[in-house]
A and B are shown apart, each in its own frame.
Chain A
Amino acid sequence: MPTVDTAAPATGSPARPSEPGSVLRPPRWRRTTPWLLLVLAVVAGFGLQTQLYTGQERTASTILMFVSLAVAWNLIGGYAGYACFGQVGFFGLGGYTTAVLMTHARLSFWLALPASAVLVGVFAALIGAPLLRLRGHYFAVAMLGVAEGLREVVTNVPGLTGGGAGITVPTVDAGAPTRWLGNDGFYVLFLLLAGVLVGVGLLVSTSRAGYALRAINQDEDAAAAMGINTTVAKTMALAVSAALTGAVGAAYAFQQVTIYPERLFDVDITVLMVVMVMLGGAGTVIGPVIGAVAVAFASEWLRQHYPLVHTFLLGGLIIAAVILLPQGFTTYVHDAVRTRRFSPLANLRRYRL
């Protein structure tokens, strides 16, 4: 099986080793620029908000949510190369934890969100310990099973979760623990979440843990031989990725007010995360952001303009993108700039049989 690495040339990472000895200490400007850009992007997000209709804000919130989800998935799927096909399970678990805490325990949303994140992180660590021993697709399927199983469990405890009829978070009545934030408020919430998550992505990318994960992605046995405790590294990556996904799920549940297991554990959400990360560039900081914005925007635009055939067209676009840019947009640009070969047809020659 030829392995083409997707993670190593991390364009978004300012700490790509250029010469020996500078592995963890690139020049100061290379370390600070990404952070400046991140702050600038968040500020731009606030600027954008002033220009949007309130309904557009909601659409933009959805796009920002997918940015967060893609960035979170990238930690385990992109850096470590473990195809977590059950990521939506963490999303749903986080959402339902928040909904249940707010409904039954009348807990404030601002406490329910971190509580959900922690709970989901711990859950992921517990199931990760046995399942991360599985490789490749087997891990993917096991996680898919976990997510589907979670959905069934949530559906089957109607006393707690409302079952298939859904659960409605109290947001308007006098006893509501936290009032609904409004489209304005949720835009800000999702913008800040996305900002924090991209920040975490930046940290991981430049940290020892990031290198450990990339090493695991390239050759796990070799990584272990180099003295990396691969089990700890993988489990941590999964737990952090899951906790962040759970936090996004929590925000989503509050935004939706009424949530249903069928949507909160919808396998399509996982697939979208994978699509966004892979098309944007796996194992890079900016890749998932670009992928998420592009895919979410394209699907929204197509739906508005071609309501009858939009999914068909989206499928065609994905096929074309996969064939022309199989290594992801960011990595393609990076390699093209370095090698001065811009034709995507070169990709075709490289990956076809």
Chain B
Amino acid sequence: MRSAAVASVLVLVAAGCGSKGEATDTGAKTGTLTVGASLSLTGSLAREGTLTKEGYQVCQDVVNKKGGVSVGGKKLTLQIQYQDDTSAPDTAGQLVDQFNDKGVRLILGPYGSATTASTAAVVERNGQVMVDSSGADDSIFTKGYKRTFAVLSPATEYAASMVQALYDLANPRPKTLAFVSADDGFSKTATKGGVDKAKQLGFTVVDTEYVPNGTSDVSAALTKLKGKNPDVILGSAHLAEGVAIVKQSKELGITPSGGFAETVAPPTPDFAQTLGPAANGVLGSTQWTVKTTGKDDWFGTASDYATTFKAAFSGREPEYHGAEATAACLVLVLGVQKAGSTEPDKVRDAIAGLDEQSFFGPLKFAPNGENLTKTMAVVQIQNGKPVAVWPKESAEAAMTWPGTTS
């Protein structure tokens, strides 16, 4: 039992050290505004987590280059602390609790709906404030939380915006749609929103197939769709499934007369890179494009933001994961300035009353924390690059229709 004794002694010694209590934010005294971000830097969402981190990084650089955040006549340097939640929701919640211990009360959201739902609950309990950059599932906003604000349009809009774009722009207008949906909460909510919209606009939904989240083999679902001859196949899925839908459709000789539309995959650079020419013509929905209307003091217009982003990341085009992250950070900065304080309660109230235009579009929050004034945009891959095609007033190019390239 020697080791047991040693362990107990260690525990007792540990119990004697440290001190209970909550650390207070010393930011106002030290001249820094410390913000916490738990992100998926490793694990299954590492790719998207890294894109989100880039957006936060751009925000920090720009804000600090312009002198920092002014609070009560002082300029505070923005400092974002990153922690890796390994794409696990429970760890994300734990990390936000740890931020709270360190007196970090202002939080930037993690990547994804599951991690965001988990952190939102913790933020609410601790009286912190979180601006969510990517957790789109509507269920997060049905729980009565008062301290989580999402800059992005909710999940129900992702597929619905593309259905609307098809209705407005596609000529000849397709008649039948089929949905292929991943089975996670976000994708299913998006599918439901898309199906509802399609029925409302008079499309016929011939089939809805569900596939396991993250799979790279959707052949079974596609084989089942084949006989139903949909005019457009709408994928409500992430990158791996999204690429598989287009790739395996080609392999299986499935050529919908209108083409493909997919929620989050096409705007990411990986989509066109992995699919090559097969990506051309695919529609995608996005939170942001370089043509998004609106302007703010920190980042200017959407195309100014694109210039800043390219300069920061050696010429790489920005896409919406980064933009929504920057926008979330912007909301926090605006909230702190408006409140004139870093106190979470005051910042919360300031953000709740925010009504601003920005490079990301309007920033105005409903009582449940959703940004409902903002609309989504639809892009189409043309010559290997996503270009905005809907809404018409902020389009970069006309929609090529039908979107089938072969």
Question: Which positions in A face B, CB cutoff 8 Å?
Answer: 11-12, 14, 33-34, 37, 40-41, 44-45, 47-48, 50-56, 58-59, 62, 155, 162-166, 168, 172, 183, 252, 256-258, 260, 262-263, 266, 285-286, 289-290, 293, 303-304, 307-308, 310-311, 329-330, 333, 337
**Once the chains are docked, how many angstroms separate the CA of A165 from the CA of B117?**
11
Q: What would be 25 A-B contacts, judged by CB atoms less than 8 Å apart?
A: A37-B1, A37-B8, A40-B8, A44-B12, A47-B12, A48-B14, A51-B15, A52-B18, A54-B126, A56-B101, A62-B90, A165-B137, A165-B139, A165-B189, A183-B97, A252-B90, A260-B89, A260-B114, A262-B213, A263-B88, A263-B114, A286-B4, A303-B86, A310-B42, A311-B86
Cβ of A66 to closest chain B Cβ, rounded Å:
12
Main secondary structure on chain B at its contact with chain A? helix
Count B-side interface residues using an 8 Å CB cutoff: 52
Nearest B residue (CB) for A303:
B84
By the criterion CB–CB under 8 Å, are A258 and B89 in contact? yes
* Residues 67 to 88 of chain B near chain A (Cβ within 8 Å): 82-84, 86, 88
Is B169 close to A, CB under 8 A?
no
**Once the chains are docked, how many angstroms separate the CA of A41 from the CA of B118?**
31
Contact residue among B7, B20, B82 (Cβ-Cβ distance under 8 Å from A52) = B20
By the criterion CB–CB under 8 Å, are B185 and A48 in contact? no
By the criterion CB–CB under 8 Å, are B4 and A53 in contact? no
Cβ of A158 to closest chain B Cβ, rounded Å:
8
Is B220 close to A, CB under 8 A?
no
Which residue, of A40, A293, A330, has the highest number of chain B Cβ atoms within 10 A? A40
Is B275 close to A, CB under 8 A?
no
**Once the chains are docked, how many angstroms separate the CA of A333 from the CA of B126?**
43
By the criterion CB–CB under 8 Å, are B101 and A12 in contact? no
Q: Mark B11-32, 1 if CB is under 8 A from A, else 0.
A: 1101111111111000000000
By the criterion CB–CB under 8 Å, are A34 and B19 in contact? no
Give the chain A neighbours of B189 by CB distance below 8 A.
165
Given the contacts A56-B98, A59-B98, A303-B83, A258 and B118 also touching, CB distance less than 8 Å: yes
Give the chain B neighbours of A45 by CB distance below 8 A.
11
By the criterion CB–CB under 8 Å, are A333 and B143 in contact? no
By the criterion CB–CB under 8 Å, are B8 and A51 in contact? no
**Once the chains are docked, how many angstroms separate the CA of A50 from the CA of B16?**
10
**Once the chains are docked, how many angstroms separate the CA of A304 from the CA of B97?**
13
Cβ of A159 to closest chain B Cβ, rounded Å:
13
Is B295 close to A, CB under 8 A?
no
Cβ of A155 to closest chain B Cβ, rounded Å:
6
By the criterion CB–CB under 8 Å, are B89 and A290 in contact? no
Given the contacts A44-B11, A48-B11, A56-B98, A37 and B88 also touching, CB distance less than 8 Å: no
